[in-house]
Amino acid sequence: MVGRPVRLRRTLNLFDAVSMGLGAIIGAGIFVIVGIAAGMAGPGVVYSVIIAGVVSLFTALSFAELCSVIPEEGGAYEYSFKVLSPFLGFMTGWMLIFGSIVGGAAVSLGLADYLAFLMSFPANLLAVGTCLLFTVVNLVGARQSKIANDVLVILKVVILLLFIVLAAPHIKLSNFSNLLPNGMSGVISGAALMMFAYLGYCNIATISEEVVNPAKTLPLSILISLAISAVLYLLVGFVAVGVVDYKELSSSGSPLADVMNVTGNETAAWLVSLGAIFATATVLHIIILSVSRIFYSMSRNRQLPNVVNKVHPRFMTPYISILLAGIPMAALAFVGNLKEVVALATFLVIVSHILVNYAAIKVNERTRPPFRIPFYPIPPIL
């Protein structure tokens, strides 16, 4: 029917939505960042993980409240557009698109570095190939995309659990004798770094129209995926600094694999490295998915050409939006070094989260959301 907004099929249940959240949150960061954070906080990195989780929870609650009121594709963009203003929505959309595409290209390069050990191809070509591969996975349908994500998420969670179980018997209590070698400032610095390892929960909101019973499922999936990630991060951090001195961890590019090497279990060390590949792959997959839904939503709100929100008649996916997300990401991955741009991209994502919390304030003034947060959203803005 002409003029009627195109809607996507609701095929994702609570498990799928939680899997999407875990796919976006638990990336290669936990396989690498925990070592850098340990260098800042020492064995007190466990406190850094808790602080980062609490800070992330504030904004996650704002996302949960907003997606219960506005269960539509686009996530943070849609909330800014509907609750604040079309202009702020437009700005939020482009901040997220730019930040996520650059971030996705950087993630693909990280994945390529892991894969380069297994294949004799240049890293930038492997990065381009992985971007295009997950673009195709997203194109062929929500069901296929869901299956691919679920499998990868289960594998990386199982590997993290194996790491915890196999390394825990080798914990040395003497490593905790000086819990805060760099004081609380080190713990706070470590928390600031660990906070970025939690950011993926917001990606769940971008697929709101593809989730069954979104007003209930979306808030639950955001909070469950954040809670599971926090518990895994806490256990991994505790075991890592318990087995290997924090100074050694801080200088390692693959701290979890190094922890497993200390235990003498070479097979487990190899599995942990494989887990980093699975983790990075799922993050890349979810980034392409979420960026495509922002394009789709902006087009439907007439802030991009109408052709962008076209849905493929066979696969029932917004194929133009997916191509707009995947192809620029592959092009950036081919260019290579993105260190300077990634800092700006991360900043833009943080600014968009400030606007989300402001939207939560406004939505509370206008209506009674099905899911209500138990505080005024000033703390997460700060």
All residue ranges of the chain with pLDDT < 50 are 1-5
The pLDDT tens digits for 291-315 are 999 999 999 999 999 999 888 888 7
Neighbours of 136 (CB within 10 A): 12
Q: Which CATH architecture has domain 14-367?
A: Up-down Bundle (1.20)
pLDDT tens readout for residues 117-155: 667 777 788 889 999 999 998 888 766 777 888 888 999
pLDDT at 117: 63
| Domain residue limits, the chain | 14-367
Say what the pLDDT of residue 1 is: 38
What was the pLDDT predicted at 340?
67
**The pLDDT of residue 93:** 94
